[in-house]
Amino acid sequence: MLNIGDSRTYRLYEGELEQISVDHSAVQALVESGQISQDAAETHPERNVVTRAVGAGSAGVPDYWLLPARVGDRLMICSDGLPKELGFGEIRTALLAEASPQAAATRLLHEALVHGGRDNVTVVVVDAHGALAPDDEQTLPIAGTAPRVSDDTAPRPGMEASAC
């Protein structure tokens, strides 16, 4: 799994829903430090301030981790617009109620829009029907022979971009 910003990943397994990712936001830092409660974070004036992101001149570093799939896992990745409109219980109910991932995603999107849809809402739902055991013979280490590309790719004033 990879996460940066305030889009979220959830996992539903045997009826239990858990948020897997951690928001990269100013209010999440306040919650983690004990300065405010999770309830206070939902109405905090800085609730939309993202501390890590892709693009916009940010050098945001994503969180990434291995999340082994279990048969029966239902994973949901969503933009922050979904949990702004639906509570944890409403998300869990919709994921449990719909048999197919497409139906679950469609229901969640519809419910978020009915609740106001004040932010963009994107939802992806995936079911794990089977799991493969790790195969060290097939999973090779990353080769160290590729040339290093400069991390600094910001455009410079007066320099034209060339077509590749």
CATH of the domain at 100: 3.60.40.10
Query: So what's the pLDDT on residue 141?
Result: 54
Mark whether 111 and 37 lie in a shared domain: no
Mark whether 85 and 102 lie in a shared domain: yes
Q: Phi first, then psi: give them for residue 124, nearest 5 degrees.
A: -125, 130
Mark whether 88 and 118 lie in a shared domain: yes
CB atoms within 10 A of CB 113: 13
Pair of tokens at residue 99: 């048999």
Pair of tokens at residue 60: 């945001």
Query: So what's the pLDDT on residue 63?
Result: 82
Confidence of residue 97 (pLDDT cuts 50, 70, 90): very high
| C-alpha R_g of the chain | 19
Structural domain count of the chain: 2
For 116-146, the pLDDT digits (tens) are 888 889 999 999 998 666 666 665 555 444 4
158 domain-assigned? no
Q: What percent of the chain has pLDDT over 90?
A: 39
For 24-63, the pLDDT digits (tens) are 878 888 888 899 888 888 888 887 787 777 776 666 788 8
When pLDDT is averaged across residues 18-27 and rounded to a whole number, the result is 86
Residue 162 scores a pLDDT above 70:
no
Residue 72 scores a pLDDT above 80:
yes
Q: What domain range includes position 37?
A: 22-62
160 domain-assigned? no
| pTM (2 d.p.) | 0.73
73 domain-assigned? yes
Distances (CA, A) of 101 to 30, 73, 124, 144: 34, 11, 8, 39
148 domain-assigned? no
Query: So what's the pLDDT on residue 164?
Result: 43
